[in-house]
Amino acid sequence: MKKLALIFIFIFVYQGVIFANSPAPMPESDSFKSARFSLVKMELVPNGIKDPVVIEAMKKVQRHEFVPKKYHDRAYVNTALPIGPLQTISQPYMVALMAQAIRPSGNDRVLEIGTGTGYSAAVYAEITKEVYTIEIDPVMAKSAGKRLKKLGYTNVHVKDGDGFFGWPKEAPFDAIVLTVAAEFVPPKLANQLKEGGKLVMPLGKLYSPQTLAVITKTGGQLISRPLLGVQFVPMVGEIENR
């Protein structure tokens, strides 16, 4: 009996650490909640999303809050959706896969390049200590910041700027995630990644085969491991001059 009690206490404390920054859920319709849980059960788990912390985050984050109203009926379909010129909100499976790939911890600090509407940042915010996210479109960055604040994500910090340069004042980071494709890892991002940290990004050109890669910093070197073929919108800004 004492052993069971100790296990229960451990689980409670563990969850308390992981979800310490989780906001209270916004009121929503039962249909949205049901669709979200069904998405996780029918699309994410059968396709390799096994991390229980990531699964719980995907169950909690209300994706319909991050897509235009005209797409609310497709918010919990496992597909990318347009959110602006040459910009999309990633499909839920891809968000979960990238979150799982960084092996998140409740004490991690994550840098995201490509905020969009803030959906991925909200997922990371559920499972890590702090999220720093950069969006090159100042209007979208401002909108995402307001949305995340309204939803209670006080551990997400949004700024507009060129993700090529990262966020040096807040470095180093335990993990870096790019939601835009590039042909190489921007060197300043590599420098801002902690030793032993993971960087996840799509490598490749627009309209050419891209590979989602998990890159680990080991001994100051970047060791890349491919996950699967993907198609993301390209990174823009300074990287176009390189």
Catalytic residue flag (residue 143): no
Ramachandran area for residue 142 (φ above 0: left; ψ -120 to 50: alpha; else beta): alpha
Measured in residues, the chain has a length of: 242
**If you write DSSP's letter for every residue of 97-114 in order, what string do you get?**
HHHHHT---TT-EEEEE-
- Lookup: tokens for 112: 């995201």
Task: Give dist(CA 160, CA 195) in Å, integer.
Answer: 27
**If you write DSSP's letter for every residue of 8-64 in order, what string do you get?**
HHHHHHHHHHHTTTPPPPPP--HHHHHHHHHHIIIIIGGGT---HHHHHHHHHS-GG
Q: Which residue has the tokens 């206490």?
A: 9
Rounded to the nearest angstrom, the gap between the alpha carbon of residue 35 and the centroid of all alpha carbons in its chain is: 20
Task: Give dist(CA 133, CA 159) in Å, integer.
Answer: 7
Neighbours of 73 (CB within 10 A): 12
- The helix (run of H) or strand (run of E) holding residue 92 is helix 92-101
Burial of 208 (0-12, 13-18, 19+ CB in 10 A): exposed
**DSSP structural state of residue 149:** H
Task: Select which of 22, 90, 120, 143 is catalytic.
Answer: 90
- Lookup: tokens for 79: 């597909």
| Catalytic residue annotation | 90
